[in-house]
Structure 1
Amino acid sequence: MTLAYDYPALGAFWTVMWIFLWILWLVLLFRIIGDIFRDDTLGGLGKTGWLVFVIVLPFLGVFVYVLARGKGMGKRAEHQARARQQAFDDYVRETAGSGTGPGNEVDQLTKLSAIRAKGDISEAEFQRAKEKILH
């Protein structure tokens, strides 16, 4: 490694590279720990075993976990992201659709007048329904 210290820029490059790789490994370690807890197919003993393996022998544990269960990590992360998006979409639909403000009244009146225009209800029924909506 004397070459790296003959050229200060190369020494700085190696230092930055090692720091980057160390941070990358830490991110991977925490992602694996999160995946261990997220996995519903593992029982308590399996989760404990993987967690101890990853914490006691971190480098070997991370590499073995990625080799053994890496494909499932992506699928579990995708499943969780889809579930979160679906829950968010359901919440937005429920919140937007259950409003009692003027927008909701306008929508109801629009639907009611469309029904009247088709001839499915009479003028008297339309007036009664309109009064219920407006009051």
Structure 2
Amino acid sequence: MKSYLKELAIVSIGVLIALFVNNLKENRQAANYYATSMKTVRNEVQTNYADLKKVIERHYSLLDSIRTHRSDEMSLGEVIEKGGGLQIATSSNTGLEFYKKNNINLIDFDVMSRLIEIQSISQIA
């Protein structure tokens, strides 16, 4: 009976150690996944911001062209063409899509809310 309890204790300790090591591994993987994902989202937001700035600059140029030529006998199409044309701002939100399909439970609620807001704004345009 004593040897049975001794073996049971050894096996139980072994199982607990294995569970502890597995838990550490999963936590490390989740932290790495989160860090990589946040880096991807940050890069995506920076790219979207840079693209949006270019569109805004182009629209300011168009606005200046409209102000310059508003008294001319030009059609609106000609004025827009002289101003460089119209451009629609586009944004990508692959970070949210990635989380939706994979580990949505690993992301912070505030970050998720902002990503959803970005997605809804980009769908309006």
TM-score range, shorter chain: 0.3 to 0.5
Q: With structure 2 as the length reference, what TM-score do the two structures score? A: 0.32
Q: With structure 1 as the length reference, what TM-score do the two structures score? A: 0.30
Determine which structure has greater relative contact order: mean sequence separation of CA pairs < 8 Å that are 6+ residues apart, divided by chain length: 2
Q: Identify, as 1 or 2, the structure richer in helix.
A: 1
